[in-house]
Structure 1
Amino acid sequence: MPARPIFYSQSRRILALKVVSFDLDDTLADKNFDDALWHREIPKLYAAKRGLPFEEALAFCEAAYDAESDKSIHWYDINYWLGEFGLVGEKQKLIAELRPLVRLFPDALPCLARLEAAGCRLAIVSNATREFMAFKLEADGLGSHFGDVFSMTSDFKIVKKDAAAFLGICGRLNAQPSQVWHVGDHYKFDYEVPRSVGINAFYLDRKKEKKGEFVVHDLNEFADRVLGC
């Protein structure tokens, strides 16, 4: 197993191990793929199957998503929803058609490059399923930057609303919570919950609607905070 990176000052004094974890969707990758899947293509298929106008099918699907809520592992699972909507058998075609829509935010790779150059150990901690993460990590070589990738819903059968999820990740990383930095776009899942267990968590607010000591508005700003710039 390769040695974990450590930080030194110019005097070579050991400062601290830093593990930096990222949410995936709407943090590193934008919502282009997900919006097309959940709010266009699945409702379109449901409309065709039921003989409904698209807007009626869209309203039905979105009401079902909302009723399940993002606190449920089912909310993230395409297999669950295709079963619920009677669309089993459509998955492979949907993914094949839509995967070219996966896009990274412009600040994603520069941020990762800065942190890698500084010796940080990088990880992804996401509620996305392994199935979706696999092809999203292929976008622009994103996956090559990460030694550790965790799907909370696939690997642990929970979502990031549980503090135990982040403590479990720290255990897997063999790191204390105080050694881990995390950033994501969900105020509760990516900021409040990890910070409650001692992780250096930051809320990514790309819309610039919030301000605060632990709010960042892009990933370059997050890298500045991690590196003490």
Structure 2
Amino acid sequence: MKTEAVIFDLDNTLINRKLAFRAYSEHFIDRFVTARDARQKEEFIEFMRVSDRDGYRDKREMVQECLAALPMKNPDMTVEELLNHWFAEFYGYTVLMDGTLDVLDRLKQKHIKLGLITNGSPHAQNSKIDKAQIRDYFDTVIVSGEAGFHKPDKRIFELALSRLEAKPENSWYVGDHPRNDIFGAASAGLNAVWLQGFMEWHSDLDEPKHRIGSLDEIIALIDNT
């Protein structure tokens, strides 16, 4: 198979959102929350991780829950203040996944078209992309909040293929979410590759045809297919 295009998910695929959220949580607690010792701080960090639901929780709901459950240094702290802090600060903690730049460079050297599809708001996702300084690698970047539909809707994958002028059977999609990424991409006819280690596989879905344990494994998979 001659590969025409490789399309990537963003969070927990090209950037390590899990590490970014951990770093932000530590900052959040140091600034806003009273923790009596390191052990309690870890408990609060875990509370925030669960509340966030891997980024799939409405942020207003998340900060409301944190405000209600965590002992704030300022008892008059408001949801709006915490929400504003999130939108001002979180994206600065964006960190690349190990191997991201090397993989993108190697694919570019092979003259393969590159795409990026990510669910989320334009502000949030574009802020991460620009903080990571990876926008120039891609021939197309699609954010669901701008496109009007989101993964796993196959239309968002078809839009990327159209912009890349690539056939689905000659294209790959790499992501971490079993339903949004792998099921969605496969439904659109792409060769879907599950990046393991961030989400459990959904038991109601067929097992993925392709899986990798680290981002750089996509190169060998493409070369050997």
1:39-118, aligned counterparts within 5 Å? 41=28, 62=50, 70=56, 75=57, 78=59, 87-118=79-110
Q: 1:102 to 1:24 in 2, by over 3 A?
A: same
Aligned equivalent of 1:215: 211
Q: Alignment length, in residue pairs?
A: 200
Name the CA distance, whole Å, in 2 between partners of 1:39 and 1:175: 43
Give 3-state SS (helix, strand or coil) of 1:218's partner. Answer: coil
Equivalent of residue 164 in structure 1, options 155, 172, 186: 155
CA deviation vs aligned residue, 1:181-229 (integer Å, no higher than 9, x gap) = 1101111211122112210110011479889640111111112212338
Name the CA distance, whole Å, in 2 between partners of 1:139 and 1:61: 22
Aligned equivalent of 1:5: none
CA deviation vs aligned residue, 1:147-199 (integer Å, no higher than 9, x gap) = 211111x1233331222332233233333222321101111211122112210
Aligned equivalent of 2:141: 149
Contact 1:166 1:194 in 2 (8 A): yes
Residue 33 (structure 1) aligned with residue 29 (structure 2): no
Contact 1:177 1:198 in 2 (8 A): yes
Name the CA distance, whole Å, in 2 between partners of 1:181 and 1:130: 24
Contact 2:169 2:191 in 1 (8 A): yes
Give 3-state SS (helix, strand or coil) of 2:181's partner. Answer: helix
Q: Give the CA deviation at 1:102.
A: 1.2
Deviates more, 1:89-98 or 1:155-164: 89-98
Q: Give the CA deviation at 1:106.
A: 1.9
Q: Give the CA deviation at 1:144.
A: 2.1
TM-score using structure 1 length:
0.68
Which residue identity lines up with residue 153 of structure 2 in the other structure? D
Gap regions ≥5 residues in structure 2: 35-39, 68-77, 202-206
Aligned equivalent of 1:185: 176
TM-score using structure 2 length:
0.69
Which residue identity lines up with residue 116 of structure 1 in the other structure? K
Contact 2:8 2:173 in 1 (8 A): yes
Q: 1:79 to 1:172 in 2, by over 3 A?
A: farther
Q: Give the CA deviation at 1:143.
A: 1.8
Q: Give the CA deviation at 1:59.
A: 5.8
Gap regions ≥5 residues in structure 1: 1-14
1:5-20, aligned counterparts within 5 Å? 16=2, 18-20=4-6
CA deviation vs aligned residue, 1:91-149 (integer Å, no higher than 9, x gap) = 55434444342111221111111100000111111113221222322345322211211
Residue 136 (structure 1) aligned with residue 128 (structure 2): yes
Aligned equivalent of 2:37: none
Which residue identity lines up with residue 141 of structure 1 in the other structure? Q
Aligned-pair identity (%): 23
CA deviation vs aligned residue, 1:42-78 (integer Å, no higher than 9, x gap) = 9x86x79xxxx9979x869956x66xx94xxxx4x64
